[in-house]
Structure formats: C-alpha cells, structure tokens
Amino acid sequence: MSTRELPAGIAELSKAELHVHLEGSVRPAIAATLAKRHGITLTEADVQQRYAYTNFNQFIDAFKWVTSFLREPADFALIACDFAQQLIAQNVTYAEVTLSVGVMLLRHQNPQANFEAILAATEPFESKGLRLNWIFDAVRQFGPDRAAEVVDWARLCHSPRIVAFGIGGDELQVETKQFRRVYARAAEAGLRRLMHAGEVGGPEKIREAIELLGVERVGHGIAAFRDPALMDLLAERRIVLEVCPASNFRTGALASQLRNPEPSIRDHPLPQFVRHGIAVVLSTDDPSMFHTSLREEYAHAHAMGLRDSELAQMVENGFTYSFLARQERHKLHFRPA
C-alpha cells in the first residue's frame, strides 16, 4: 500500500476521527502486556503474526483473539490511555470511539465498570487537548435481543459521553429489518444511530440501514459505488460514509467489492464518493490491527488523487458530522494542533 507524502498543510490540521474501535487500537506491545497480566506468554512478534489477514473472517478471528485479553476494568483503562496518546500524537483533537459492549456482554463482563475505568483513564487527556465521546456497539450476528441489551446498558451508564449506538460484526448475518425495534429503542434513549453496512455486503445493506433503521452515518459503505441511485440518495440526504481505506484493503473487502483479487489501494472508490457530493469522513477503523493511522489514511487519500481542497473538506467533515454541539465542534476544530 504505497502512498505519497501528505501535504504539510493537511498534516498540520487538527482532526477528528469518527469510526475507530477502541479494541482495534491495541498495539502489539500492549497486547503482550495484557496477556502477561493474565498468565499468558506472548511476544510482540506473536501479535504481529495474528494481525495479518487476507479476508474479513480472518480479521474477525484476530479481533476475538485480542479482545480475549480484555478481562477486567483495568485492562480497558490501559488500552484507553494508550489510545489517547496515539490520537494526540496525530493532531486528533476529537474522536467518537466505538466500544464493543456486545463482546463485553458475551464474556459476562460489567460494561458500566469497564466504561467508568475508561472514562477515568482518559479524563486527564482533556487538559492536553483531546476530547473523547463513545459509541456503544452491538454485534450483528448475536441478534436483536443482545443488541437491545447494549442499548439498555447505554441507558444504565447514563453518561453524556455516550453519544450513539451502532452495530458492527458480520453484516451478512441477521436481516436488517430484525433490528428495527432496537434502533427505535436507541432513538428513544436519545442516542444517535449508526451501522456498519456495505463493507462486505452489497449496496442493498446500506439502503436498508438508511430506510429501515434511520441511520445517520454508515460505517464503510464502500459498496455504494455499485449503485448510482444509492449514491444520489446519500448525497441528497447527507448520509455520511465513514470510509476506512486501509481496513478495506487488508480485510479483502475492497477486493470483493471491486471483484478484483489484487487491487491497489488507489482503486478505492473514495474519490468517486467525494466527487459525487457524498459527505465522507476518513477514519482508521482498527488502526493497530490494520497497521495504519489517521495521518496515513489521509496520505492514502492523497495518493488516490484527491486535491488538497478535497482533503481539507474531509478534515472539516470530521467535525461537521460529529455528534458534538455546533459550538464545541468549532472550538475543537480550530484548536491549535
């Protein structure tokens, strides 16, 4: 995935990240530390070996594996602190971070205890210029009843830092319409609504998320390029695509959507979305697991031929389409990096 150097004027801008999973930020060194805490011998090289995949299912297996070391609130505090440091190093002043509450429940953990540990670990970074809000995430293949439990935990935690509810996982499992009740429940709780769609699934998955569930932002959404009418809909309704090029490349999602077994990252439809008038925010998804950073994602976009003005617009979109109040967006967007 060769890239060219990111223009200094773009690199220096304060940025927001809206599609990033806390558990996917676990660096190999931190994973080894977590394993040691629980009596498991693991080297950084071992983790690097697990962080290599050629398809989406292999990635899901690696995600399950690394999250198996997250067993106590202190473990979540450790990775949250390390992630905050990673963001500050990239001129990120705001992030809406996805937290896999569905996985916590599968492992019989207390999401509130984990979340309180995360808040305590990251609060000191606010004085350093970083604001974090959180998205409680369910796992699609676990079904609607388990997803409803995630909404209930968001209500129970009752924190203004929980801004949205989303669903990730395998979008080819469980019909979208089965989650209607869950998304209505999230809306009643005052949560904004997101969903991963059109990553490995077709454009119909994106349309279903919009029309059946009322989502405001779509995670990935790269299949949209296969349906011109859907692209028009996204542009007209200002439904945001959270695009993660390195993730799409490394999971094989890009190859699948392009029907090209060996694509270049420059074949990504990102420029097509931008020039169609679709609101796009650039993100990393699982940065450590995909060997990327927000700066590198902007470098990828630059290598695809996006102009400086288009890159700058995506930077602005990260704040405009966040779930922050307008005044807060402005303050964080123009905070000196």
pLDDT of 2 reads 47
Assess contact for 208 and 251: CB atoms under 8 A.
no
Burial class (CB in 10 A: 0-12, 13-18, 19+), 220: buried
* Centroid of chain to Cα 191: 17
* Distance between CA atoms of residues 191 and 187, nearest Å: 5
CA-wise closest residue to 128 among 226, 256, 14? 14
* Distance between CA atoms of residues 222 and 257, nearest Å: 8
- Rounded to 5 degrees, what are φ and ψ at 96? -105, 105
pLDDT of 336 reads 54
Place of tokens 């190093």: 89
Domain boundaries, the chain: 8-333
**Which residues does the annotation mark as catalytic?**
199
pTM higher than 0.75: yes
Per-residue pLDDT of the chain (337 residues; tens, 9 = 90+): 545 588 889 999 999 999 999 999 999 999 999 999 999 999 999 999 999 988 999 999 999 999 999 999 999 999 999 999 999 999 999 999 999 999 999 999 999 999 999 999 999 999 999 999 999 999 999 999 999 999 999 999 999 999 999 999 999 999 999 999 999 999 999 999 999 999 999 999 999 999 999 999 999 999 999 999 999 999 999 999 999 999 999 999 999 999 999 999 999 999 999 999 999 999 999 999 999 999 999 999 999 999 999 999 999 999 999 999 877 877 777 665 4
pLDDT of 149 reads 98
pLDDT of 98 reads 98
User: Domain 8-333 sits in which CATH superfamily?
Assistant: Metal-dependent hydrolases (3.20.20.140)
User: For residue 30, which amino acid is it?
Assistant: I
DSSP 232-284: HHHHHHTPEEEE-HHHHHHTSHHHHHHT-SS--GGG-SHHHHHHTT--EEE--
